[in-house]
A and B are shown apart, each in its own frame.
Chain A
Amino acid sequence: MADSVTTAPVARRRFQPFGGKAGEILLEGVYKANPVTKQVLGICIFLAVTNRVANALVMGAALTFVTAMSNLFISALRNSIPRRIRMIAQVAIIATFVIMIDQFFRGFYWSMSKQLGPYVALIITNCIVMGRAEAYAMQNPPLPSLLDGIANGIGYAIILIFISIVRELVGSGSILGFTILPAAWYTKNLIFLLAPGAFFTGGFLIWILETISPSSQSEEGGERK
């Protein structure tokens, strides 16, 4: 069953006697509660980096790294953090890992770093990372939290890669820079590499996924029950 952006996943996990097995955590993060499609988180980055498969791969890896590591550390420290500065502490830990990965890119993959621009830094405010920290890492031991971070990161990365394949193929006829659709007979649809293309592809993806496996959502315009 699909989850919406509420504490539903937390309530369910708390009553599991064994804290959830590794495989189940991974499945939940990657498929059942996929961050982009089901929880509608991390849209900003999703739209920005899916214009090239290379970008998507790298960003997916970066996000997985940050989510996993920050989940691990936040979970390890979860009982030592005073309640009042809880959010600030989480943000500080997440920001540290983001800086690490950003500096890494600047040092070793300068061209990629320029391509990704501010979006690496924006992993800090990315709701996925904060969301997992708050909903899972603060409540569960380090090892499951690490797995949860990896799972959510991979779930996000899969979507990124899939969409970027579509966008790059349609937009420039190539994947990872290798021309698949020759310029001879294929006219590139440049709009797909730009902002509108991102929104359209995202919209169609959600359309397809919602048709295949609908979430239990209230109607448009319905606010209080």
Chain B
Amino acid sequence: MNLTPVWVVFLGSIFTNNILFASFLGMCSFLVVSNRIPTAIGLGTAVTFVMFCTTVINFLIYHYILVPLGLDFVSFIIFIAVIAAFVQFLEMFVERFSPSLYYALGIFLPLITVNCAILGASLFMVIRNYNLTQTVFYGLGAGLGWFLAIALMAGLREKMGYSNVPRALRRTGIVMLMAGVIAMTFMGFTGMLSTG
């Protein structure tokens, strides 16, 4: 039983426990893909939606199928299968019912399947023993947190284009250092939610 109030779960997952700045998840696809804000927004929206839906679906499967049968160790395979299937379904659904949305987001969807943050959210949901309501707000919050993280970094990287970054730090190096500073800033949020 996890007794954390729902609003703490929500705000915590965005700020103090930011899935990228605190748990390091979702860096790979971001580093390789985007250094521009429009791309970051597209990717962020897609990830938030997928994270939200898959954590809830995985919660239901985990607690109503796997645990009663004592099969919790199979959860990894099931989670990743659900994520992959969901992303594929989403791609079809969006393309059919909203072509304009598909053209904006569709190219990001295949990238999301291997985004560690999505799987990570489901894993954290299990580790921290959230109930259904908590899971709902956690999935949403974690996604928004990731969105916030990459939007911040994309914005900073765009500005970096005008700075004289040492040659050896270009691309990955400077992003890491930037992320470190932002991570420190986010640590300052800890006082915001006294969970005890």
Contact = CB atoms under 8 A, between A and B. Distances in A.
Interface residues of B, number: 48
Contacts of B23: 48
Nearest to A200: B180
Interface string A191-225: 10011111110111011101100100101110000
B27 interface: yes
Contact of B171 (A45, A95, A121, A217): A217
Contact of B74 (A88, A99, A124, A211): A99
Interface in B155-187: 157, 160-161, 165-177, 179-181, 183-184, 187
A122 B116 contact: yes
A24 to B, nearest CB: 26
A91 interface: yes
A137 interface: no
Contacts of A211: 168
Nearest to A122: B116
A154 interface: no
A153 B80 CA distance: 22
A122 B23 CA distance: 12
B25 interface: yes
A207 B24 contact: no
A54 interface: no
Contact of B80 (A5, A103, A125, A208): A125
A196 B116 contact: no
A124 B160 contact: no
Contacts of A127: 28, 114
Given A118-B120, A125-B80, A203-B177, A43 B31 contact: yes
Contact of B180 (A40, A48, A199, A206): A199
A47 B169 contact: no
Most buried by B among A47, A92, A130: A47
Provide the main secondary structure of the chain B interface. helix
Interface string A116-144: 01100110111100100000000000000
Contacts of A95: 76-77, 80
B73 interface: yes
A41 B172 CA distance: 11
A121 B76 contact: yes
B178 to A, nearest CB: 8
A42 interface: yes
A211 B175 CA distance: 16
A98 interface: yes
Question: 9 nearest interchain CB pairs?
Answer: A199-B180, A203-B176, A210-B168, A118-B123, A203-B177, A47-B24, A206-B173, A200-B180, A211-B168
15 contacts: A40-B32, A44-B25, A44-B116, A92-B77, A98-B76, A99-B76, A118-B120, A130-B114, A196-B184, A199-B183, A203-B180, A206-B169, A210-B169, A217-B170, A220-B170
